[in-house]
């Protein structure tokens, strides 16, 4: 069955989101049509604003409204420790537990030999660049406990250790294959406290 063009386009847009198949996209599109004008307006405005007003911090790669971001410019943060995460969402998860006060670096991906993703395909060069002439003495690799997370942490350790930087990895409190984003606060806290040197 052919849908009228506006709804076909809306279905197409929804189906570009991760985890949304044609069936779900169709359901969401029809749901949207049934929403109030005000809600649809807000939805569209929020989509555009999020895209327009957010950028990636030129220092750490985190999603931010101002560049550099509030964490990078915060003078009270411990500038000797840097925690490396896969995504901006992981920074939020770490900040929520309020126990880590150092700096961050967001990779926007992981090295994945299986999928042909190498060190140059993620935000790694700027990390190495950042560590030159900095006060950072410890880098904590907080990538998820997956094969790609391991590959990434091994690579970082191999590159940074000769430069005399201590490289540690979150402790195994995190279940194998688990996402930092979904770890509960106690688990995350313990993982930082019991981090191991690579
Ligand atoms: Zn930043």
What is the whole-number distance in angstroms between the Cα of residue 67 and the centre of ligand 1?
A: 7
The torsion region of residue 192 among left (phi > 0), alpha (psi -120 to 50) and beta comes to alpha
What is the whole-number distance in angstroms between the Cα of residue 83 and the centre of ligand 1?
A: 12
Residue 2: per-residue pLDDT? 84
Residue 24: per-residue pLDDT? 97
Summarize the confidence of residues 180-189 as an average pLDDT: 72
Give the up-direction half-sphere exposure of residue 13: CA atoms within 13 A in the CB hemisphere.
Answer: 12
Q: Is 85 helix (H, G, I), strand (E, B) or coil?
A: strand
Residue 14: per-residue pLDDT? 97
What is the whole-number distance in angstroms between the Cα of residue 75 and the centre of ligand 1?
A: 12
What is the whole-number distance in angstroms between the Cα of residue 2 and the centre of ligand 1?
A: 47
Residue 46: per-residue pLDDT? 96
Q: Is CATH 3.40.1360.10 what the domain over 63-197 is classified as, yes or no?
A: yes
**What whole-number percentage of the chain has pLDDT above 70?**
93
What is the whole-number distance in angstroms between the Cα of residue 71 and the centre of ligand 1?
A: 6
The 10s digit of each residue's pLDDT in 63-108 is 999 999 999 999 999 999 999 999 999 999 999 888 899 999 999 9
**What whole-number percentage of the chain has pLDDT above 90?**
71
What is the whole-number distance in angstroms between the Cα of residue 12 and the centre of ligand 1?
A: 34
* Average pLDDT value over all residues in the chain: 90
Q: For residues 8 and 101, give the distance between their C-alpha atoms in angstroms, rounded to a whole number.
A: 48
Residue 163: per-residue pLDDT? 85
Q: Which pLDDT band, with edges at 50, 70 and 90, does 1 fall under?
A: low
The 10s digit of each residue's pLDDT in 10-54 is 999 999 999 999 999 999 999 999 999 999 999 999 999 999 999
Which sequence spans correspond to the domains of the chain?
5-53, 63-197
Q: 198 pLDDT exceeds 90? A: no
What is the whole-number distance in angstroms between the Cα of residue 19 and the centre of ligand 1?
A: 29
Same CATH fold, 63-197 and 5-53? no
What is the whole-number distance in angstroms between the Cα of residue 13 and the centre of ligand 1?
A: 31
Strands, E assignment, the chain:
55-56, 63-64, 81-85, 103-106, 138-141, 166-169, 196-197
CATH superfamily of 5-53: RecR Domain 1 (1.10.8.420)
What is the whole-number distance in angstroms between the Cα of residue 57 and the centre of ligand 1?
A: 5
């Amino acid at each position: 069955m052919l849908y009228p063009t506006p709804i076909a386009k809306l279905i197409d847009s929804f189906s570009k989101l991760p985890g949304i198949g044609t069936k779900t996209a169709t359901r969401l599109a029809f749901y949207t049509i049934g929403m109030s004008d005000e809600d649809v307006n807000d939805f569209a405005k929020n989509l555009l604003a999020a895209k327009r007003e957010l950028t990636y911090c030129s220092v750490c790669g985190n999603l931010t409204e101002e560049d550099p971001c509030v964490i990078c410019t915060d003078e009270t943060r411990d500038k000797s420790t840097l925690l490396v995460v896969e995504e901006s969402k992981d920074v939020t998860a770490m900040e929520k537990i309020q126990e880590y006060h150092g700096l961050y670096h967001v990779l926007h991906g992981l090295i994945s030999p299986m999928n042909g993703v190498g060190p140059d395909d993620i935000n790694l060069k700027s990390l190495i660049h950042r560590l030159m002439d900095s006060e950072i003495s410890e880098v904590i690799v907080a990538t998820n406990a997956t094969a790609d997370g391991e590959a990434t942490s091994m690579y970082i350790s191999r590159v940074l250790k000769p430069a005399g930087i201590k490289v540690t990895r979150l402790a195994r409190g995190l279940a194998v294959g688990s996402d930092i984003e979904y770890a509960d606060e106690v688990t995350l806290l313990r993982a930082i406290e019991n981090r191991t040197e690579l």
